[in-house]
């Protein structure tokens, strides 16, 4: 069924009606909220604040206002849901809507409206042929659209039109680098790592100079060992059934796989636990040192074995 549904979506071009003399948007607009599911890769769009807040409570990442839509126009945007993949799809094309319903998608009604007359705020549509969920992206940002197309997504043109711009919000700390661009650790002389339990920070040092600072979460109840250690082995991921958590991008600094630098936690399915990620910056682990996802990957990729690690 999924293959059929994808074929249906790809078979239909996005067809927007041309503005007419009688077409008119309502004078009022509504904010369109954009959310992101870190684990499925799906972006979700809604004008409903209650739905937005419920998804954020369930672990979705709120990304801000994507655009402003007219409260009403003659061009509805239809919302559909694929119960097999968990994916949503949005279209102004009634034929596309009907073919997806015939292929097993659920029609969820009119999500919002496209502008009949304003062409200043086009929403660009891209398709990822390799994704199961989150296979389509819709964005007001042409730079985002071009970036995805350059990365292999298919450009599907303009999906609909808004009547105003959006306002983004920063990604949660656990999803972004702590301090901007990363230095190349292979070129750093006298490299060492310092972990401050009091500050909940990890300092990357070149001799006496700090060259990068990362926000961290050390162990609850003083469970992170203090002392001087060295980087040992590493791995892509692990899961601890006793704790009910795992993580990605781990680098051991004590007892060969017991005490680690690693990403914020994952669950048994390998999905990031957003509620745990939001604890970054305060003691939350069972003794390891948690880092943001990109910070942990950077150390996993670049931190040389035998690098000194001091914890105090």
Q: Verify whether residue 89 is a known catalytic residue.
A: no
Tell the residue number behind the tokens 């009910």, with chain if given. Answer: 244
Torsion angle defined by CA atoms of residues 44, 46, 49 and 51, in that order, rounded to the nearest 10 degrees: -60
Q: Look up residue 273 and give its DSSP letter.
A: -
Which of 88, 89, 136, 262 does the annotation list as catalytic?
Answer: 262
Q: Verify whether residue 88 is a known catalytic residue.
A: no
Helix 94-102 to helix 2-11 angle, to the nearest 10 degrees?
160
Please state, as a whole number, how many other Cβ atoms lie within 10 Å of the Cβ of residue 229. 19
- Residue pair 186/216 in contact (Cβ under 8 Å)? The answer is no
Question: Which of 37, 34, 232 has the alpha carbon at shortest distance from 140?
Answer: 34
* Torsion 141-142-147-150 (CA) sign: positive
- Residue pair 291/175 in contact (Cβ under 8 Å)? The answer is no
Q: In the structure encoding, which two tokens stand for residue 49, read together?
A: 């604040």
Which residues have CB under 8 Å from 158's CB, separation 6+? 14, 16, 122, 123, 124, 125
Please state, as a whole number, how many other Cβ atoms lie within 10 Å of the Cβ of residue 30. 20
Which of 89, 286, 288, 312 does the annotation list as catalytic?
Answer: 288
Please state, as a whole number, how many other Cβ atoms lie within 10 Å of the Cβ of residue 42. 21
Q: Which residues have a catalytic role annotated? A: 262, 288
């Amino acid at each position: 069924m999924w293959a059929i549904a994808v074929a249906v979506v790809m078979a239909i071009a996005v067809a927007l009606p041309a503005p007419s003399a009688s077409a008119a948007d309502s004078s009022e607009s509504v904010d369109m909220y954009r959310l992101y599911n870190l684990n499925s890769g799906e972006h979700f769009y809604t004008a409903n604040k209650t739905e937005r807040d419920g998804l954020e409570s369930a672990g979705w990442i709120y990304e801000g206002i994507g655009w402003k839509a007219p409260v009403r126009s003659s061009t509805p945007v239809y919302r559909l849901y694929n119960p097999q993949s968990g994916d949503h799809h949005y279209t102004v094309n009634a034929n596309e809507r009907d073919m997806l319903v015939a292929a097993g998608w659920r029609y969820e009604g009119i999500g919002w409206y496209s502008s009949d007359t304003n062409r200043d705020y086009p929403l660009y549509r891209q398709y990822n042929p390799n994704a199961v969920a989150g296979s389509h992206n819709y964005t007001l940002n042409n730079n985002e659209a071009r970036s995805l197309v350059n990365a292999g997504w298919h450009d599907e043109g303009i999906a609909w039109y808004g009547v105003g711009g959006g306002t983004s919000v920063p990604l949660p700390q656990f999803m972004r680098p702590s301090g901007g661009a990363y230095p190349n650790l292979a070129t750093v002389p006298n490299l060492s790592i310092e972990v401050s339990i009091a500050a909940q920070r990890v300092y990357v040092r070149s001799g006496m100079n700090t060259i990068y600072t990362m926000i961290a979460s050390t162990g609850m109840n003083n469970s992170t060992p203090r002392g001087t250690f060295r980087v040992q082995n590493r791995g892509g991921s692990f899961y601890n059934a006793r704790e009910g958590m795992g993580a990605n991008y781990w680098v051991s600094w004590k007892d060969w796989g017991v005490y680690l630098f690693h990403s914020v936690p994952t669950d048994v399915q390998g999905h990031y636990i957003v509620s745990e990620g939001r604890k970054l910056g305060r003691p939350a682990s069972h003794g390891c040192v948690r880092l943001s996802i990109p910070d942990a990957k950077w150390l996993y990729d670049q931190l040389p074995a035998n690098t000194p690690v001091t914890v105090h």
